[in-house]
Structure 1
Amino acid sequence: MEDVRQLVSSGSPLEPRIGFSRAVRAGRHVAVAGTAPLGEDGSTVGPGDVYAQTARCLDIAERALQDSGASIEDVVRTRIMLTDVTQWKEAARAHGERFASVRPACTFVEVSRFIDPAWLGEVEIDAVIGQAPD
């Protein structure tokens, strides 16, 4: 059986402008793009609050996983990008609430900035469907 490439959209107006998908599933592999803390209305969620922004990024990424047929349990790697890595504990708290039992490989990195200066962080996720440990 041939693997099918599935594109998942979050409805962001940036997706067609930039030419990207929120997530792409290729076979059992799902890659969720860098996900910013945007509300349904397109505004930044939790201005100045790393925890709230990370939680929102994870909400959006989790929905993209579900839309691709994956779940949190299928996640094998996460990347947390922050404009101030000294605030990693707040981002880690949001990550830990979601992934305490899954425990994917996780990397925290500091970046100089994002497209919108109000964004304090973004999240990327990789998953392999059907690879959850017993």
Structure 2
Amino acid sequence: MPTSRQLISSGSPWEPIVGYSRAVRIGNLIEIAGTTAMDGDKVVGRDNLYEQTRFILQKIAAILNEAGASLTDVVRTRMYVTDISQWEEAGRAHGEFFKDIRPAASMVEVSALISPDLLIEIEVTAVVSPFG
């Protein structure tokens, strides 16, 4: 039996141009693309890594919900920060969402994101239990 492929869009004009989806669900696996603190054309939490991280994780929770999942289904997070010396701010926000879930997590420093106002980008992998 073929597994269905659900594409989830954020409505970004870049999705069809670049050729990507905000998230893809295949069977019980959900992959969420790199998500930033953009709200339309505005950056949320400019110059504040903690606020950007919180905003992104709220966006990710909504995307998971649209895909039929929740934060409790997250098994992996990948955080790309532009200044690793501020890791504790991103870590504090991540812990507020995942303290009891404790997915595998990575945080790496990158030289830049698509806008200099963006301090972090987060990707998520979730697995929805076949048992409910």
Is it true that 1:15 corresponds to 2:15 in the alignment? Answer: yes
Q: How many correspondences in the alignment?
A: 131
CA distance in 2, matches of 1:15, 1:53: 21
Secondary structure, in 3 states, of the residue corresponding to 2:118? Answer: coil
Question: TM-score w.r.t. structure 1 length?
Answer: 0.93
Question: TM-score w.r.t. structure 2 length?
Answer: 0.94
Deviations 1:51-102 (A, max 9, x none): 0111111111111111111110100000111000111100011100000110
Once structures 1 and 2 are overlaid, which stretch shifts more, 100-109 or 6-15?
6-15
Is it true that 1:127 corresponds to 2:126 in the alignment? Answer: yes
CA distance in 1, matches of 2:123, 2:25: 14
Distance apart, 1:13 and its partner CA = 2.0
Distance apart, 1:131 and its partner CA = 7.0
Which amino acid counterpart does residue 97 of structure 2 have in structure 1? R
User: Unmatched 5+ residue regions in structure 1?
Assistant: none
CA distance in 1, matches of 2:130, 2:76: 12
Name the Cα RMSD after superposition: 1.4
Correspondences of 1:1-134 after superposition (within 5 Å): 1-39=1-39, 41-130=40-129
Runs of 4+ in 1 over 2 A off after TM superposition: none
